[in-house]
Structure 1
Amino acid sequence: MEHADYLHAAVRLVYQAALDARQWDAALGSVANAIGAHKSLLNEVAGEATGVIVSAGFEPAHVRLLHHEMVSRMPGWISAIAVGASLRQSSAISDTDFRRSELYNEAVRPAGGFYGIVAPLVRTPARQVYLSAGRELGAEDFSTEDVDALNVIVPHLINSLEIGSRLARANLYAQSLLDVLDRANVGIILFDAALRPVFVNRYADALAAHGAGVVVTKNNVAASKHAETRLLQQAMAQCVALHRAKPADRDSGLLRAVPMRCYLSREPSRPALVARVMPFATPEQPGRDMERREAGTACGALFLSEPDRPLALDVDALTESFQLSRREAQLALLIANGYGLAEAASTLMIGIGTARGYLKQVLGKTCTHRRAELVALVLRSSLCAFGFADGRYGNGGE
């Protein structure tokens, strides 16, 4: 290949590595080819965590030695190189002085090398990344043309590392959001423009596993009954239609949009699931962007709730908000879940007289006068939307 072809190949692989870290081996090898290096190393220092992003041509033991020297005893001539610039060691230190240096004797010589070139790619208080490339002992020094070639590649390396960091942060953020959704006390299914599920939380997965009104497969979300499936998928399709509309119509449609609702039948003894469909914010440009969304990007959410499921309420919220004892709060939560006083007393394994005493204390502390007022207050103050609390009442002491 011509020298320009090596440069183009290196740049292409560098950007592929931004999207897939497994491509860094090939990318670094291509960079080494473009500048005629026999060995190369991309190493990182991030706070107390240090590591080698990738290396080419080095034995693992030699990589560790060179990385240790770069981290623990960074030579001054390397620290002085500006970020984004490439420098031959021979331009900063004489061969004689380099032979006497710790970097050479502790790391470069054991690896069988001598001439090197270094380019700082990232240098912040939190993170530093350096590209080091070298030639084996006895080979000639890097030329000015080699330095120029590396200077062409370095900006792309910097961009690739930044893209990779941003993607990693975005993936972490997205995963954190999905973890939160997974803990929700309602079923949540995110679906794409083809109405295929792209995320199913634990609650929705459990409903589907027990055949409780909803059926979820790899490519479909349906109801147990055909007629209800049609209504459900019509509601989901309305979300998708908002993404296909012209910007002005789409924006006004979103402003008017409310969760579209339908009901999914379960076995005769259970009330129907309540299914609500909500569109996401839409892209600025329809058309081609919409086609990309066909490939699995969520554009709507389906929420599934069970009307007869005991409410997930937070006992700690009541104890802290109204200075209730734990027993008083447990009794209040049972009553809010529809328990009669005798049934609540039995559940808490206390006498009915004790339960009446607790209820009187609860009404006084919450400034309510009837059970209906107490239930409304409890629901407003302690409803738990996520499953961090397990909803059990326990039988601990006051």
Structure 2
Amino acid sequence: MANVRAHRLAEVVDRIYGAVGDPNSWGDVLQEVAETVGARGALLFKPSSTASETQGFWSPSIDDLVDWSLRDGKDLHNPRPARAFRVGLGRAVTESDLFSEEELARDPFNREMIGRLGYRWEAGGVIAKIDGAPLLFTTQRRADQERFGRPELEALEALFPHFARAAQFSVRLAMARAEGALFAFDQMACGGILLGSKGRVLKVNACAQRTMGKGIDIAGGRVVAANPASNAALQGIIQAALSPEVRLKRERTRPTVVIERHERGPLIAYAIPLRGGIRDVFNPGKAVLVLEEPQARRHVAGAALAETFGLTPAEVRLAVALAEGKDLATIAEEHRVSIGTIRSQLKSLMAKTDTHRQAELVTLVLRYTVNQVR
């Protein structure tokens, strides 16, 4: 096993499971897997007929390969996944197991990948199925390296079951997080609709369900507005949130759409890309469509909070401000007190409500949110 760092396999297994809780670490984990079998880089992905819709994680060392396949190679058909499907789950193979030398030389995708980029050798296989779609792993070597041998394939096959279990855990965790986000929007009296990679509706919270029926609805698994102009704008913000080029960043404003509805007044809609974005191979949910009723405003029932937890008026004001998303410095400035005073009030507030983190406190406060119609 000259090209396999056998002593690192156990460490790599631990890192694979560690990535379940930290999806941003998958690139580094795949790099470690590649180095363990003497390869340049590795890719974990769900293939698609359209390159721009391919979801996956990859090691930073093969950015050039991924960039090429999504940009210059996007119009070339990649025959490798289809050949790998025939092999079955859990078996590692090389490009030479899937193609003859004549086929590699003749096929445009293979010819470009080898000739232009220099990625001559590849090993991988189908690891599992995620929501019915195959999950593939591949690792690459350049032409100046030797081809993958049986020791490397055996090492990969030993890792494949761990990848499969980590994938299952990751999907469950991602859905739990998405459901938590929908619940949070419910607590803020906002409709929340979880959308998949092509805009299909995966889950709908209670507030969103109450908005359905007049002016906006779910048809054919997608959110649609009855008004043609509103629907065109709605589909535009959904597609923007699902774009592969979207970059998650904190913005003061988001593109919003006013959906005209007869009898019930307008509805405000905006779409939020989820962490990991469209490329997150394990997260079926890619964005949340948020729906707000302009004629309703959210109001924290301060009297109920005070009575339930024995809060002072200052503590109630702090709880309300935190629920509105304000930070401690802003609250101190608005109330014309020192930041130290606000921190002292926060400490007392958390003790009285038996909460240990600010996010936990805000979640509790939002349970005392009610709607008031203007």
Query: Does 1:7 pair with 2:9?
Result: yes
Count of matched residue positions in the alignment of Structure 1 and Structure 2: 237
Indicate the residue corresponding to 2:44 in structure 1. 42
| Cα distance between partner residues in 2 of 1:216 and 1:47 | 55
| Cα distance between partner residues in 2 of 1:178 and 1:64 | 36
Indicate the residue corresponding to 1:316 in structure 2. none
Structure 2: stretches of 5+ with no match in the other structure: 190-297, 306-315, 336-340
Q: C-alpha displacement at 1:148, in angstroms?
A: 0.5
| Cα distance between partner residues in 2 of 1:100 and 1:63 | 22
- Letter paired with 2:88: A
Equivalent of residue 66 in structure 2, options 63, 82, 94? 63
* Structure 1 residues 303 and 296, CA gap change in structure 2 (3 angstroms): closer
- 3-state SS of paired residue (1:80): helix
Query: Does 1:28 pair with 2:34?
Result: no
- 3-state SS of paired residue (2:62): coil
- 3-state SS of paired residue (1:58): helix
Indicate the residue corresponding to 2:243 in structure 1. none
| Cα distance between partner residues in 2 of 1:54 and 1:2 | 20
Equivalent of residue 74 in structure 1, options 72, 75, 79? 79
Equivalent of residue 135 in structure 1, options 112, 129, 141? 141
- 3-state SS of paired residue (1:140): coil
TM-score, length basis structure 2: 0.51
Q: C-alpha displacement at 1:12, in angstroms?
A: 2.0
Indicate the residue corresponding to 2:93 in structure 1. 87
Indicate the residue corresponding to 1:19 in structure 2. 21
| Cα distance between partner residues in 1 of 2:17 and 2:58 | 15
Structure 1: stretches of 5+ with no match in the other structure: 190-196, 224-228, 241-293, 306-384, 393-398
Query: Does 1:105 pair with 2:140?
Result: no
- Spell out, residue by residue over 1:147-190, the C-alpha distance to the aligned partner (whole angstroms, 9 max, x if none): 0000111122222222222222111111221122123543488x
| Cα distance between partner residues in 1 of 2:11 and 2:150 | 21
- 3-state SS of paired residue (2:89): coil
- Spell out, residue by residue over 1:338-364, the C-alpha distance to the aligned partner (whole angstroms, 9 max, x if none): xxxxxxxxxxxxxxxxxxxxxxxxxxx
| Cα distance between partner residues in 2 of 1:47 and 1:176 | 31
* Structure 1 residues 152 and 200, CA gap change in structure 2 (3 angstroms): farther
| Cα distance between partner residues in 1 of 2:325 and 2:136 | 49
- 3-state SS of paired residue (2:116): coil
On the 8 A contact 1:187/1:304 being kept in 2, the answer is: no
| Cα distance between partner residues in 1 of 2:86 and 2:373 | 60
| Cα distance between partner residues in 2 of 1:121 and 1:219 | 52
Equivalent of residue 164 in structure 2, options 136, 158, 161? 158
- Letter paired with 1:148: E
On the 8 A contact 1:122/1:128 being kept in 2, the answer is: yes
| Cα distance between partner residues in 2 of 1:96 and 1:164 | 40
Indicate the residue corresponding to 1:319 in structure 2. none
* Structure 1 residues 217 and 73, CA gap change in structure 2 (3 angstroms): same
- Spell out, residue by residue over 1:292-343, the C-alpha distance to the aligned partner (whole angstroms, 9 max, x if none): xx678959946897xxxxxxxxxxxxxxxxxxxxxxxxxxxxxxxxxxxxxx
**Cα RMSD between the aligned structures?**
4.3
| Cα distance between partner residues in 1 of 2:48 and 2:179 | 20
* Structure 1 residues 28 and 178, CA gap change in structure 2 (3 angstroms): same
Q: C-alpha displacement at 1:91, in angstroms?
A: 2.2
Indicate the residue corresponding to 1:170 in structure 2. 176
- Letter paired with 1:90: S
* Structure 1 residues 125 and 20, CA gap change in structure 2 (3 angstroms): closer
On the 8 A contact 1:77/1:92 being kept in 2, the answer is: yes
- 3-state SS of paired residue (2:39): coil
- 3-state SS of paired residue (2:135): strand
Equivalent of residue 373 in structure 2, options 372, 391, 398? 391
* Structure 1 residues 84 and 175, CA gap change in structure 2 (3 angstroms): same
Q: C-alpha displacement at 1:146, in angstroms?
A: 0.5
Q: Which has the higher contact order (CA 8 A, sep 6+)?
A: 2
TM-score, length basis structure 1: 0.48
